[in-house]
A and B are shown apart, each in its own frame.
Chain A
Amino acid sequence: MPVLRSVRERFAAEQPLKGVKVGACLHVTAETANLARALAAGGAEVALCAANPLSTQDDVVEVLASEMLVRAKRGTDPRPGVAEVATWGPHVTLDDGADLIALLHEGDALVDGFLGGTEETTTGLVRVRALDLRCPVLALNEARTERVFNDHYGTGQSTLDGILRATNVLLAGRTVVIVGYGFTGRGIATRARGAGAQVIICEVDPLAALEARMEGFEVMPALAAAARGDIFITVTGTPRVLGAEHFAVMKDGASLANAGHFDVEIDLDALAAAATERRQVLPLVESFTLASGRRLHLLAQGRVVNLAAGQGHPAEIMDISFAVHALAVEHLVTRGGSLAPGIHPVPEPIDREVARLKLAALGVGIDALTPEQEAYRHSWGGAA
């Protein structure tokens, strides 16, 4: 993780986070450990809890436990750990799904001198918007570097990786239905096509749907796609995009996977209700036999399949993402006091800095505008 490493080296030298308590509610993985250590190197005290019951890497917890407060264990309810970190009294929070910031807004748990939080996911931001927000929150996933790397390339790759690990299915020749054509859906769609799958896109946004169509994907309502697909992937951030009416027409042996943040996109209650028999056929594949005799395979209990069945994003992607996190924490520490309560975008200089560090790590050189070119771009029709 060369980008985060260069941030960490600067932090170690400049100590910009000295004395600040940072509470992080993230997927507790090896990459997250590097972020926590970078923040600690910058002088912060760090506490870590889990944003998801299935994504924790227990070996990482074991190693980090000697360095900082860590409350996470794979397969257990994460809520007590989140509560403990909230009580610990952070000045800055890092969230992936808004669990920690939401809990701090219940009652009046924000400490004096609370500087603000960051939120990693689209879904988390929806929750943050619903809060009566009393602090600034930086919307990390709306940062350009984040959108491009994390959603498109990261989730795009790791979602298919998770599905392959869970099922070992051959994608070539199969019909993959992707519900949602946002940044993540696009990443998955191009990769599924590259692997030889026929890809069908379902959308509610006419512009996104048209883009999918212009890319040559088949676009249709989810109910029509339900009868065609072999593998369904939800990436919408919206609950119950696949429900009873879809399950009723799906083919025998169809697989259902979710790469959206929460396990609400596939209607699990409806699936359970429709099933006459449930059987765990593989560690992360549960088979639901419907009254018709057809079987549907639910992957990773409908939770983020790229993390639950795969290894989440490759380290390179998390490197970018966590460098944005680290610089966002620094921004909150230096500027948080002057930011109004509410959701704020990640300042553009952070994006540019992260991209610059990543290019340097890749050994890629780029051009710079000459002063004349710069002036031309800011002139009216080149008359300058």
Chain B
Amino acid sequence: MSTTAEPTTLDFKVADLGLAEFGRKEIRLAEHEMPGLMKTREEFAASQPLKGARIMGSLHMTIQTAVLIETLVALGAEVRWVSCNIFSTQDHAAAATVVGPNGTPEDPQGVSVYAWKGETLEEYWWCTEQALQWPEHGGPNLILDDGGDATMLVHKGTEYEAAGAVPDPASAESEEFKVFLTLLTRSLQDDPNRWTKVGQDIVGVSEETTTGVHRLYELAKTGELLFPAINVNDSVTKSKFDNLYGCRHSLVDGINRAVDVMLAGKTAVVCGFGDVGKGSAESLRAQGARVIVTEIDPICALQASMQGYQVQTLEDVIEVADVFITTTGNKDIITVDDMARMKHQAIVGNIGHFDNEIDVAGLEKYDGITRINIKPQVDEWVFPDGHSIILLSEGRLLNLGNATGHPSFVMSNSFTNQTIAQIELWTKNDQYEKQVYVLPKHLDEKVARLHLDAVGVKLTQLRPDQAAYIGVPVEGPYKPDHYRY
């Protein structure tokens, strides 16, 4: 691990600053594929709308995220960063972000990053804590979150400080929550007002993903939300692009890099047919796999059926399928008893945000089971009867754990939304209550517009009489807010 080097005050912890040159090369390629971010840099280069903003980001520390971070910096922000997943960091991206475009590994001049691939849970939450601590100013004034972990740390910390006590870590229902409670127990001893103060300084959060958004709406509903939140996930140019096209690209990439099995001819089960499930099913089918969908929502189930997918319960297909992918955002989708009944060397992976869709803890506790690590993020679990299953990325996001996540172009859409959301929260803060907002449609359309040239799209211009006929402005927005695309 590299830590703070002498001539600079930059603090960080990444795997190896020697990887920075490789990271910088890939960042350079990615910049060309991320026209939304690069055009946003041009647009706001002079006005510096994020001047004075201290943004703490908790989002997969990849090459694409490096381009986002450097965009925020280019717009005037100070930034500290962590990954929101223990396996998703690309170490060369983290190194290049620390070194920055003008620094060297000996004299890094970029951004404080605390992230490396393969963190322990303790390390993960330690990193999150470090990124929430500015050396001179206390905490951040903005959070850019993916999955809501940073937001949760501030909220739970504030809640427990108000109560004067943290629940006993031994009572936690998951290993991760135990680590989380242990951290807060220590922090309460060190400074009984730490998170309360941090929360008071924060003027907003922009949230990247379905799961984090769900947490935010829950907080807003109970009146516990400490600051305004922008739901970036539900921008059309995010969820209908990142979740759908991103997963369509990276799911099969992850499976192939992990196990390199022929997907044609196999039977694959996709649990959940939301945007992520739709993209996942399409990519598996395109490989020649027979795809079966499981759903709890009758609308999504009927959509799957009308697209020609068989819709079954997991119970019906557990013994016949070769590949199982969870995309639900819910917990306990595939249990250890399910895995015990699967075919020999069935592949089990998750592309939903959290690792609780597959019962990995149950596997670990299963009587007589053996774990054979094939390579990083690929484990064969051998049951006592001799049959095994292959678990990808320990049940965490396999597209990031086994491959490199979504491609730059898709992430440019998501991250342009993020950048715009951060500008909104910073420059128009008085217009936002402690509620959850989605970006207005004209900004959503703007994000799409910024990406058209790069793919050679020629947009037809609405004529004034046509605009009047359907009752929209010539320059948009073109659809009502409830339009579903």
B264, B302, B305, B307: the one within 8 Å of A216 (CB): B264
Residues of B within 8 A of A214 (CB): 264-265, 288
A residues 298-341 in Cβ contact with B at 8 Å? none
A210 to B265, CA, bound (A): 8
One digit per residue, 1 when the CB lies within 8 angstroms of any chain B CB and 0 when it does not, for chain A 156-185 equals: 000000000000000011000000000000
For residue A218, CB closer than 8 A to chain B, the reply is: yes
Q: Are A196 and B264 in contact, with the CB atoms below 8 A?
A: no
A196, A215, A216: the one within 8 Å of B306 (CB): A196
Pick from B289, B290, B308, B310 the residue with the most CB of A within 10 Å. B308
Given A173-B305, A196-B307, CB of A218 within 8 Å of CB of B290: yes
Closest to A170 in B: B306
A173 to B305, CA, bound (A): 5
For residue B217, CB closer than 8 A to chain A, the reply is: no
Interface magnitude class on chain A = 10 to 19
Q: Are A172 and B288 in contact, with the CB atoms below 8 A?
A: no
B residues contacting the other copy or chain, number (CB 8 A): 15
Closest to B264 in A: A214
For residue B55, CB closer than 8 A to chain A, the reply is: no
B residues 307-333 in Cβ contact with A at 8 Å? 307-310
Closest to B285 in A: A216
For residue B291, CB closer than 8 A to chain A, the reply is: yes
One digit per residue, 1 when the CB lies within 8 angstroms of any chain B CB and 0 when it does not, for chain A 186-219 equals: 0000001101111100000000001001111110
Closest to A194 in B: B308
One digit per residue, 1 when the CB lies within 8 angstroms of any chain A CB and 0 when it does not, for chain B 284-305 equals: 0101111100000000001001
Minimum Cβ distance to chain B for residue A175 (Å): 8
A215 to B287, CA, bound (A): 8
Residues of A within 8 A of B285 (CB): 216
Residues of B within 8 A of A173 (CB): 302, 305-306, 308
Q: Are B265 and A213 in contact, with the CB atoms below 8 A?
A: yes
Q: Are B265 and A199 in contact, with the CB atoms below 8 A?
A: no
Q: Are B290 and A216 in contact, with the CB atoms below 8 A?
A: yes
A176 to B287, CA, bound (A): 21
Residues of B within 8 A of A193 (CB): 308
Q: Are A198 and B264 in contact, with the CB atoms below 8 A?
A: no
Closest to B267 in A: A218
Residues of B within 8 A of A215 (CB): 264, 288
Q: Are B288 and A216 in contact, with the CB atoms below 8 A?
A: yes
A217 to B309, CA, bound (A): 10
Residues of B within 8 A of A218 (CB): 290, 310
Q: Are B290 and A172 in contact, with the CB atoms below 8 A?
A: no
Minimum Cβ distance to chain B for residue A177 (Å): 13
A218 to B309, CA, bound (A): 11
A198 to B293, CA, bound (A): 12
A198 to B307, CA, bound (A): 8
Q: Are B308 and A196 in contact, with the CB atoms below 8 A?
A: yes
Residues of A within 8 A of B302 (CB): 173
Residues of B within 8 A of A196 (CB): 306-308
Pick from A172, A192, A198, A199 the residue with the most CB of B within 10 Å. A198
Residues of A within 8 A of B309 (CB): 198
A300 to B287, CA, bound (A): 36
* Sampled A-B contacts (20; CB under 8 Å): A172-B306, A172-B308, A173-B305, A173-B306, A173-B308, A193-B308, A196-B307, A196-B308, A198-B305, A198-B310, A213-B264, A213-B290, A215-B264, A215-B288, A216-B264, A216-B265, A216-B287, A216-B289, A216-B290, A217-B290
Besides A214-B265, A216-B290, 4 other CB < 8 A contacts?
Answer: A172-B305, A173-B302, A173-B305, A198-B309
Q: Which 5 A-B pairs rank lowest in CB-CB distance, beginning with the nearest?
A: A172-B306, A214-B264, A173-B305, A214-B265, A216-B288
